A and B are shown apart, each in its own frame.
Chain A
Amino acid sequence: MSSALARDILDLTLEHLFLVGLSMGIAAALAIPAGILLTRRTFLQRWVLGFANIMQTVPSLALFGFLIPLPFLGGIGKHTAIVALVLYALLPILRNTLTGILNVDPAVRESAVAMGMTGRQLLWEVELPLATRTILAGLRIATVTTIGTATIAAAIGGGGLGVFIFRGLASVDTTLLLAGAVPAALIALAADRGLEWVEHKLSPV
């Protein structure tokens, strides 16, 4: 492997990590609070989950395409890619946050309220700790999926390891294809293992 290719792999891997990291950060910051809100405003559940579900069913290449003509969110480049990746990651995090909290044993929740916990104490001391494992599982699914989906970002000038893949496809060059696919797969595996470890460490029971 030439040193130029090695450097390109490193650069694009870092760019890929940046795309995924930022998207996941934004998605978690949106979806976890939204999931908590949905446990308090049950009438919103259908609408919000419906929206997240639809986002998930749009084929990824098409979603990137749809975003291009949009003002502010769209166009060519990284920010459009990040918007698309965030939209994809919302559903698993949202759904798992909701499920995790709703699955807290009703007797435990009733006791907490009956012992005089405020709504905030109930959330932070009981519901979130007991939902941690489920929420992290959602985050893990979303992250691993996003690492794969992010390769498509290159199609709209978002960069990342997809650059190799698209270039490899265009020139029928297996080395280039592998230069994109192998690091992406390794990142996905590492993220999966790493988040599994965090899940295990942080879960209270």
Chain B
Amino acid sequence: MSPFVSFRQVSARIGQNDILHDLSFNVEAGETLVLLGRSGSGKTTALKMVNGLLLPSAGDVLIEGKPTTAWDLIRLRRRIGYVIQDTGLFPHFTVAANVGLVPRLEGWQPRDIAARAQHLLTQVGLPPAQFATRYPRELSGGQRQRVGIARALAADPPLLLLDEPFGALDPVTRVELQQQFLDLRKGLNKTTLFVTHDVREALLLGTRIGVLHSGRLVFLGGRSEFLESHDKEVQAFHTCLEEKWRGTI
């Protein structure tokens, strides 16, 4: 089977700055590839290339074998769930309306939209009876991010993009949501591209890890390869790990 997402010698230039250099990697169907990197490493730029929020200045990003430049971007984006750190929830929509947005854009029946929103809110741990009619400003940061995840899953997209979704949460809530993400993933079998600067999160959630440094992919591999890697940037991330992980190197 061909990879779900494929970067082929992708470069990105925004203004005078080269953000990505000659980036090539695949995201296989069903895997969770975590892109790990410092701030400014180009990981968010790489993510935005997948749903066409940005287009490559050289090379191609292929989704199901077709370059993003050849996709109808509206169609493409409705098949990709997108979660960002700031959530980007619509402040003038209720929680249920936020979750039901893509199904509504896709012309689902109102009854089906409501049922889908209820189901997803339950799945992410927000009882619909209590939360469906609230507005985003009436939620805590963790609850907002749960709604963001439910919204991304609404139209059952085969591909999920997550850009530091738990980055702004307190540590306890973050661990809760990471765990919930793992639980959700078991039942759903989505292809996922996950961006983070948190090495522990990368080890916890990634089936593979890619490390970006100054717009270049300096490492790509599984968890044990990551822990054994001698690449300087990867080792810089090793130093952030607790003893528990270091023991396994």
Contacts and interface: CB of A to CB of B under 8 A. Distances in A.
Partners in one complex: yes
Interface of A: 105, 107-118, 121, 126, 129-130, 204-205
Interface of B: 51, 53, 73-78, 80, 82, 84, 86-92, 101-102, 105, 135, 137, 151, 161
A205 B105 contact: no
Interface residues of chain B: helix, strand, loop or mixed (majority): mixed
A129 B92 contact: yes
Contacts of A113: 53, 77
B89 A116 contact: no
Contacts of B161: 114
A58 B77 CA distance: 49
B92 A204 contact: yes
Given A115-B105, A117-B105, A108 B78 contact: no
A68 to B, nearest CB: 47
Which 6 pairs across A and B sit closest by C-beta, in order of nearness? A111-B88, A204-B92, A116-B78, A107-B86, A116-B77, A107-B88
Contact of B88 (A108, A129, A130): A108
A125 to B, nearest CB: 8
Contacts of B91: 105, 108, 130, 204-205
A61 B53 CA distance: 51
Given A118-B74, A205-B135, A112 B90 contact: yes
Contacts of B88: 105, 107-112, 114
Given A114-B53, A115-B82, A205 B89 contact: no
B84 A107 contact: yes
